[in-house]
Amino acid sequence: MQRVMASALFRPLTSKWGMQKRWVDGAPMEALASKFIKPNDRLNSFERLEIYNRQYWFRVLDCLYDDYPGLRAVVGERRFMKMATAYLTQYPSDSFTLRDLGNRLEQFLRAEPHWSAPREELALDMVRFEWAQVVAFDGPAHPPLTPDDILDTPPSKLQLRLQPYLTLLELNFAVDDFLIAIKKRESDVLRGEASNAMNSAPKAAVVRKRVRYPKREKVHLAVHRHDNLLYYKRLDQEAFAILTSLSRGITVEDACLEAVTASKRTDVDWSAEIKSWFDAWSALGWFCRTP
């Protein structure tokens, strides 16, 4: 019974926010619902099941709507709701927490780029950026490294582990600036928590002033938190390369050497530059001990 009912709840609503009239085999939905749900003096079995079908979709669509304002701006409000419905139909929630609802959005958009056409790349950049923020908000943190921890290890042997809440992103668009502009025009929306009722359709199709799409440009970004507040920090290409190498377990010496060798910049005091980067990253607590 639970499998049948859950399958009914996971089926998308009609364009008028109602339950589909036909089951997957083409049989009337009313017939299926009446097999396990009693009617009462005001509602038939279909209508009673429909309350739960609607609540499910209102809840999960509302959640994605709130958590992915950037992706919503890229694909457009109405299309976002259709895309989110297709995504959740293919990937129903596999986690006890709604936090993880968008954990396969990038995978979905890569497999079905038509949802974000003609801005496929921008959408992918944005969804990676927004998921990185979910991770940075409440992802795990390990104790940061102290100078004493690495005092006796030469750079040729020193490997530095990065905090798990830190995500490094190489992007083709300045989605950080774009998202800031988007958020400026949006007010905070609060989500219900313990109530199991959703009594209105999701917040789709709200007309808002359009923010100009970002132009193509290479951006290297670290999404992280400091003092439990969320930040995005732009990085020089070489700094990004060093951090990426470190995250792959390459030693500090090799990571720096690779980054400097690959750099096209010539008029740089690399030792001073690299020292200032490492000082900043250490101060931000990005390097951590292995648990």
Give Cβ neighbours of residue 233 (< 8 Å, ≥ 6 apart). 221, 222, 224
State how far the Cα of 246 lies from the Cα of 159, in Å rounded to an integer: 7
Tell me how far, at minimum, the Cβ of 54 lies from other proteins, in Å: 10
Q: Which of 14, 40, 146, 153 binds other proteins (CB under 8 A)?
A: 40
If binding is defined by CB under 8 A, does position 3 make contact with other proteins? Answer: yes
Judge residue 222's burial from the number of C-beta atoms within 10 Å of its C-beta, 0-12 exposed, 13-18 middle, 19 or more buried: buried
Residues 19-38 that bind other proteins (CB under 8 A): 35-38
Q: Do the beta carbons of residue 105 and residue 99 sit within 8 Å?
A: no
If binding is defined by CB under 8 A, does position 215 make contact with other proteins? Answer: no
Choices 19-27, 210-218, 224-232, 234-242; region in contact with other proteins by CB under 8 A: 224-232
Of the pair 194, 272, the CB lying nearest other proteins is at: 194
Rg (CA), the chain: 24
Q: Which of 28, 143, 192, 249 binds other proteins (CB under 8 A)?
A: 192
Q: Do the beta carbons of residue 254 and residue 245 sit within 8 Å?
A: yes
What's the number of CA atoms in the CB half-sphere (13 Å) around residue 113? 9
Tell me how far, at minimum, the Cβ of 274 lies from other proteins, in Å: 29
Each as own residue / partner, the long-range contacts of residues 77-81 (CB below 8 Å, 24 or more positions apart, any chain) are 77/204, 77/205, 77/206, 77/208, 78/204, 78/205, 79/115, 80/204, 81/202, 81/204, 81/205
Interaction pattern, residues 133-162, with other proteins; x per rule: CB under 8 A = ---xxxxxx---------------------
Helices 175-184 and 120-138 pack at an angle, to 10 degrees, of 80
Choices 11-19, 53-61, 106-114, 169-177; region in contact with other proteins by CB under 8 A: 53-61
If binding is defined by CB under 8 A, does position 272 make contact with other proteins? Answer: no
If binding is defined by CB under 8 A, does position 107 make contact with other proteins? Answer: no
Choices 49-57, 73-81, 151-159, 254-262; region in contact with other proteins by CB under 8 A: 49-57
State how far the Cα of 65 lies from the Cα of 29, in Å rounded to an integer: 29
Of the pair 3, 210, the CB lying nearest other proteins is at: 3
Number of residues interacting with other proteins: please give it, by CB under 8 A: 52
Q: Do the beta carbons of residue 151 and residue 22 sit within 8 Å?
A: no
User: What residues make contact with other proteins under the rule CB under 8 A?
Assistant: 1-3, 5-6, 9-10, 35-38, 40-43, 45, 47-49, 51-52, 55-56, 59-60, 92-99, 136-141, 164-165, 190, 192-197, 199, 225, 228-229
